[in-house]
Amino acid sequence: MWKLFSIILLQWALTSQGFYFRTELDWEAEEKPQADVTKECLQYSKDLDCRFYECLEERFPCGHGVQKGQSRAHCVKINERANKLTEVGKIWINSITKCFVKEATKIYQRPSIDCKEANKIVLDIQQKCYTDNDFCNVGWKHRNDLWRIFSKPITTAKTQYYKM
């Protein structure tokens, strides 16, 4: 019972907190690109380089304030902690990272983005990437490592990350 409850709680926290792409969103505007799509940024995406998130934020700065740069910081944190996972866990977290970056690259290449819809888009990406990569089975075995990676967003009030 505890295992089921923990999985449900973690799944809810992951999808509701928007932990991977945390930004303060400006819900009132469709954002026109502030920077061009560049070969360098597309290469960051292809290489799963965390600097890609800087490119995304520069192109579509829906966020502002202290949360700017948090997506890249979170990516770096995951990469640092991933080496503590088992081989299966490393493959799993790499698959999730690839999924996130693939979907974020589609956003990066858009001609514009509606910041009012950005949160829903991000949550849909998170749900897709975790469920498509067998989160419930592989994630449970690595719950302690995942907790260390995601503990700050999960234990911090989400109003710190989003305008409500």
Question: Would you say residue 1 lies in a domain?
Answer: no
Q: For residue 58, what pLDDT is reported? A: 92
Q: State the residue range of the domain holding 39.
A: 34-150
* Residue 61 near residue 114, CB atoms below 8 Å: no
pLDDT in tens, 84-133: 888 888 888 888 889 999 999 999 999 998 887 877 888 888 888 888 87
Q: For residue 35, what pLDDT is reported? A: 93
Query: Which has the higher per-residue pLDDT, 69 or 60?
Result: 60
Rounded to whole angstroms, how far apart are CA atoms 74 and 152?
10
Across 9-22, average pLDDT: 46
Question: Would you say residue 89 lies in a domain?
Answer: yes
Q: For residue 141, what pLDDT is reported? A: 66
Query: Which has the higher per-residue pLDDT, 120 or 53?
Result: 53
Question: Would you say residue 56 lies in a domain?
Answer: yes
Question: Would you say residue 161 lies in a domain?
Answer: no
Question: Would you say residue 97 lies in a domain?
Answer: yes
Question: Would you say residue 63 lies in a domain?
Answer: yes
Question: Would you say residue 40 lies in a domain?
Answer: yes
Q: For residue 144, what pLDDT is reported? A: 72
Number of domains in the chain: 1
Q: With bands split at pLDDT 50, 70 and 90, how would you rate the model's confidence at 151?
A: low
Residue from 92, 97, 119 nearest 45 by CA = 97
* Residue 162 near residue 25, CB atoms below 8 Å: yes
Take residue 31 and report the two structure tokens written for it: 């954002």
Q: Global pTM?
A: 0.67
Question: Would you say residue 3 lies in a domain?
Answer: no
